[in-house]
Chain A
Amino acid sequence: MPGSIRASGWGEAMARTIETVAEEIRSPSPGAMLRRRIFGHYGLVFGIAVLTIIVLIALFAPLLTSHDPYTQDLMARMKPPFWMAGHDPDHLLGTDHLGRDYLARLLYGARISLAIGAVAALISGLIGTAMGVAAGYFGGKVDLVVTFLINVRLAMPVVLVALAVVAILGGSLEVVIVVLGLLLWDRFAVVMRSSVMQVRDLEYVNAAKAIGCSVPRIVLSEIMPNVLNNLIVVATLEMAHAILLEAALSFLGLGVQPPTPSWGLMISEGKQMMLFEPWLIAIPGVALFILVLAINLLGDGLRDVTAPENRG
């Protein structure tokens, strides 16, 4: 505007100050800022929404279908899903090779995937965090030992080791969860070690040390809150990783054992009919894709939202 160009230097400075102050007064609370960042991040919103839906499906599976995922009916095998000719309205997504309702197996299968993802991530999170924090905080010999263990772990191919262990112990839900939990802690340890190293010499940690706080107290209430966001991001990634690995193991016949409904197992069982009944692998495949995508978007979004450079 021509007016503003002609405005005097004093007036301009004054206006700017007022604006800044007004801006500061108007500026929302940190909580509101966080909310705005979350809802402004479409990936994160999508991830949360889809994951919530899948969790609800898993929790309320018995209410969503009247069929039992284990009841077989050999006379009604491989009925096609609703969009194909010849489908049975009673079985919305058709039936599998033993005449079990595919929708029921898909819904109940969500429980298996989520349980494996959550528990395996929890186990590996506990192991990896403990090791990473110890290495980062104490440094020195502890760090050497932990770094050595991480290197050992990274030298082992996860899928091969999991296959070997499950082949020896026999596949079951518990075995798969424990094996994955014991194998996926490396990323937790690496990330936690470096994050803790960054904060361990900051003033507030030194202050806590100076007033004589115990080590557990320093770690739990001074360090952990400041590295928690990294932990959450790694946890989501590892959860998705564990779900995919379970599907892979079950696909190879070494994971969850039938008749337990598992998406990987469903893909494996449908594989033989891939040429003629592609929907048998497409349905669980799409479900698996959506779940892993949602978890990854959630983790990615959490990182963006909590990262210091985005805190505004």
Chain B
Amino acid sequence: MKTRLLVGSVAAVLAFSGSNALADKANDTLNVAFTKELESVDSYFNSAREGVIFQRSVWDGLLYLNQETGEYEGNLATSWQWVDDTTLELKLREGVKFHNGEEFDADDVVYTVNFVAKPENGVVVQRNVNWMKEAVKVDKYTVRIITNGPFPAAFEYLAGPVSIYPNEYYAEAGPAGMALKPVGTGPYQVESVEPGKHFVLKRYEGYHDSPKGAASIGTVDIRTIPDVNTQLAELFSGGLDFIWGVPADQAEKIAAMGRFTVANESTMRIGYLELDAAGRSGDHPITKAKVRQAIAHAIDRQAIVDSLLKGKSKVVHSACFPTQFGCEQDVTTYDYDPEKAKALLAEAGYPDGFSVDFYAYRDRPYAEAMLSYLAKVGIQANLKYLQYSALRDMRFKGETSMSFQTWGSYSVNDASAITSQFFKHGAEDFARDDEVLAWLNAADTSVDPAVRKENYSEALKKIADQAYWVPLFSYNSNYVFTQDAEFTPTPDEVVRFFQVSWKQ
């Protein structure tokens, strides 16, 4: 077939010309590609998915979320409990050593927490750290974290983005030094960093008895290759062993070739239509609930999932990712029903439809598919395809009446990371519903899980009834890797290199 010929010839050209860093099982090196250029490998100073992946391999958190059981386990801490609503006391693990030989104890936790919690130190993703007020040392292996008000999702953050840095080294090197020569306690230590381009990780032989488990593969060699087609060509020529985020169509073709393992796993990212119910962008048809419900009925989300996203993607009905704590599933659903959509439009006073600007920043094919469905019921949507930052600015100013958005919740498995982000009258809230705000405030600040669940449920039900959002689908990611390697992806979209192993 012609296709195979082209693929073959591209591969051949690369094989002869490429700088093949002898990748494979034989020399115990896993060659990996990052799509985005990482601005800094210091995990507090980047906001990219690649940064999270790097962080999980090099550093440890106090807790660890077991992906199979969904339970929190102790990593750098061994036990923990709330002393009161805003004080968490943790016992730390003894005998842990950083990659540079520094001993881990309460001073490291206190230093790290106090450093990142200070807004003037400029941690990029403030929501990851601004719930912490400070940390206080009780004794060498006991520490207390004081929060700014009750914060029930604390464990989620302690197991996720909050990683512990060595106090002596960080005080001396600072974020700039950490970005060039990172030191942590994680299963991999960093051998070399070429900022934004090339990172080499080596297995840390002195890794403590962590629930993460020790690394199996000796070397992980990471290069930045922004283009998917280039990544694929390198994969075919043997220059890469492991890539992810491969689009569904390509993943299908690669699976059919039979030379690589293709694994698919859902991610916590969901896509949704943000509708300006509050009329922030002026007076337009979308402020009417019937029109918003018509839009929800007009789009065949199942067909988009089946033909475009594929894999483990699912249609979502609630304004959050289904596994997140508090994500009520028993909400009003809107089936694909163009006739009903037309009827609703007619009831709202638009029997001939209307014209509206439709903003999007990624996944143009999905946006185009939705345009076509909207056109079928008479809604003439004009696609305005912008860069993420440009569209975000417009949304912050409330200038968009309808936009196709996605949100990955930073892999935080709690509805506060998405519903509360968007419905608490902030710059990105286009519903401005006081009732929803009250419920969310109650849910976010209570430490009683039952109260939280109840209030999230009320809020999400109203959001669905009013169709403030049209939740569309959850995303998935395709992982493609050499058949020599063994790896099971997890739904939080974090590639844990220490869980990749060679097949025996």
Contact = CB atoms under 8 A, between A and B. Distances in A.
A49 B199 CA distance: 57
A96 to B, nearest CB: 9
Give the top 7 A-B pairs by smallest Cβ distance, nearest first: A74-B307, A276-B253, A72-B372, A258-B368, A74-B303, A257-B383, A276-B3
B48 interface: no
B491 interface: no
Interface stretch (B226-234, B461-469, B495-503): B226-234
Nearest to B384: A170
B488 interface: no
B284 interface: no
Interface string A226-269: 00000000000000000000000000010001110000000001
B20 interface: no
Interface residues of A, number: 29
A274 interface: yes
Contacts of B372: 70-72, 98, 259
Contacts of B306: 74
Contact of A258 (B2, B303, B364): B364
B95 interface: no
B364 A259 contact: no
Nearest to A72: B372
A171 interface: yes
A70 B373 CA distance: 11
Contact of A85 (B1, B229, B383): B1
A275 B232 contact: yes
12 contacts: A71-B372, A72-B372, A97-B249, A171-B385, A258-B367, A258-B368, A259-B371, A259-B372, A269-B365, A276-B250, A276-B253, A277-B3
A74 B364 contact: no
A72 B369 CA distance: 7
A276 B251 CA distance: 11
Interface in B373-405: 375, 382-387, 390
Given A74-B304, A259-B372, A275 B10 contact: yes
B365 A253 contact: no
A259 B382 CA distance: 9
Contacts of A167: 387, 390
Contacts of B368: 72, 98, 258-259
A273 B228 CA distance: 10
A278 B1 CA distance: 12
Interface of A: 70-72, 74-75, 77-78, 84-85, 97-99, 167, 170-171, 253, 257-259, 269, 271-279
The secondary-structure label for the interface of chain B is helix
A70 B381 CA distance: 13
Interface residues of B, number: 35
B303 to A, nearest CB: 5
Contacts of B153: none
Contacts of B375: 70
B125 interface: no
A273 B250 contact: yes
A173 to B, nearest CB: 11
Contact of A98 (B6, B233, B369, B382): B369
A269 to B, nearest CB: 7
Contacts of B308: 74
A273 B367 CA distance: 18
B21 interface: no
B150 interface: no
B98 to A, nearest CB: 43
A84 B2 contact: yes
B218 interface: no
A101 to B, nearest CB: 13
Nearest to B364: A258
B7 interface: yes
A97 B363 CA distance: 12
Interface in B223-261: 228-229, 232-233, 247, 249-250, 253
**Which of B7, B247, B368, B382 has the most chain A CB atoms closer than 10 A to its own CB?**
B368
Given A74-B308, A259-B383, 18 more contacts: A70-B372, A70-B375, A72-B369, A72-B372, A74-B304, A74-B307, A75-B303, A97-B365, A98-B365, A258-B364, A259-B371, A273-B249, A274-B229, A275-B3, A275-B233, A276-B249, A278-B2, A278-B3
B7 A276 contact: yes
A142 to B, nearest CB: 41
Contacts of A74: 300, 303-304, 306-308, 369
